Amino acid sequence: MTAGSLRRRHLLASLTLRKPRTSSQTHFNCHPTSIMVALTKSTTQFLAWTASKGIETPLDLNERSDGSRYTTAKVDLDNTSDILQIPISACITSDSLDGLAERLAYERKLESKSEFAPYMDVLPTLEGGDNPYLATLPRFWESKRLERVEDSGQLERRMMNDERKDLDQWALACVDSRANFLGDGRYAMTPFLDMINHDASIQTRARIEEDKGFAGSGDILQLQSGKNYAKGSEVFISYGNLSNLDTLVDYGFVSDTNPCNVETIAVRMMGQQPFTLTVYPDGSVDAGSKATLRYNLATPEELEIFSTIEKGTGLGILAKPLSDRNELDVQSFIASTIDEALYETKAGAAETKDDALINMYLSARQKQFELAIERITHKFPGIEY
């Protein structure tokens, strides 16, 4: 994912991040009952290192008993306050995400000889210990647990698409969950930034200031959370417009009230190209799927209209119903497809009450599908599906 082009001193509307874990009220991760504890030695050393690198912030870094970290405001902050200033030189950077994973793996092999050693020591691990545990991500789950995710193969397809066996799996997981796009063509592992938790409702802003870094040299990344915070309250940023599938795969959490969640269903019709039907948070269905179905379900007479369309004008006519009959068939097909996926998802949610993370993921999917069917039946009373 990228945040689009970012020229020097340009202000981002939002900062697209890849980083793990959250403690927002509507989210679930694997340790919801953890409590605040004293900072570990590695975290204390990390904070000393950030100061030496010129990283400045009005935030405190805190830890919970499960190893997760979160930030709180040292002072009252308004929605225009900078919550982080970090020299780009203090980041691990690369021109690609693959390159960043390779760079991270290299720095890890250097151990104490790496200039980023204190940062490396607080990154999540595959072994557990004091740091967050990467093995909670689905890519590291046992097959029996993955088989319990009844989402019509949505998670499985995503994981297959993301799989990169040629890269160090620890480094790849860290990059997928923590890297951000700088906007000048580079990706970065940004110390401290990747420890601020997620809230989808926040309009995070970032800018790069030229030659404003430590000791007056180098570029710095400045970040605004876009929200007012009282002293002592937890501070959040938005990682971007991420669905529950996105957050589950890369961060290991989901939300039952995610305003950015989309649910998808793979659709296959005999003699037609497969396509993906997308259901949005309000229960609406993507226009592309409806256009495809209007064409696929049209009668020969309804298809005749395309012979009269001027060449090069495209298929924009499919953005609207072709006929009452055609639209009823389209909506019936959509409702039937969603209902079938809903049945599977609902059964899966009922069978995973002992696994809170999977259960919340499936329950949120179930609610979105129910809303979609309710929306269709309200607009087309008596529709059969």
Strands annotated E in 101-233: 180-181, 187-189, 197-198, 205-209, 220-224
Which whole-number Å values give the CA distances from 100 to 168, 183, 223, 266, in the listed order?
11, 15, 21, 32
pLDDT interval class at 18 (50, 70, 90): very low
Looking at residue 66, its pLDDT comes to 77
Average pLDDT over residues 54-77: 93
Find the mean pLDDT for residues 69-93: 95
Q: Do residues 360 and 256 lie in contact, with contact meaning Cβ atoms separated by under 8 Å?
A: yes
DSSP state of 50: H
Q: Give the tokens for residue 208.
A: 């790069």
Residue 228, classed as helix, strand or coil, is coil
What would the pLDDT profile of 154-167 be if each residue is shown by its tens digit?
999 999 999 999 99
Measuring CA to CA, which residue among 383, 357, 377 is closest to residue 151? Answer: 357
The one-letter amino acid at 25: Q
Per-residue pLDDT tens over the stretch 83-114: 999 999 999 999 999 999 999 999 999 999 99
Is residue 132's pLDDT more than 80?
no
CB 241 within 8 A of CB 100: no
Task: Decide if pLDDT at 258 tops 60.
Answer: yes
pLDDT value at position 327? Answer: 97
Query: Mean of the pLDDT values across residues 324-332?
Result: 97
pTM (predicted TM-score): 0.84
Sheet arrangement for strand 187-189: 92-94, 187-189, 180-181
Calculate the average pLDDT of the chain. 87
- Predicted confidence at residue 112, as pLDDT, reads 96
Question: Quick check: helix, strand or coil at residue 339?
Answer: helix
171-200: pLDDT as tens digits: 999 999 999 998 788 999 999 999 999 998
Mean pLDDT of 270-294: 96
Three-class DSSP labels, 127-148: CCCCCCEHHHCHHHCCHHHHCC
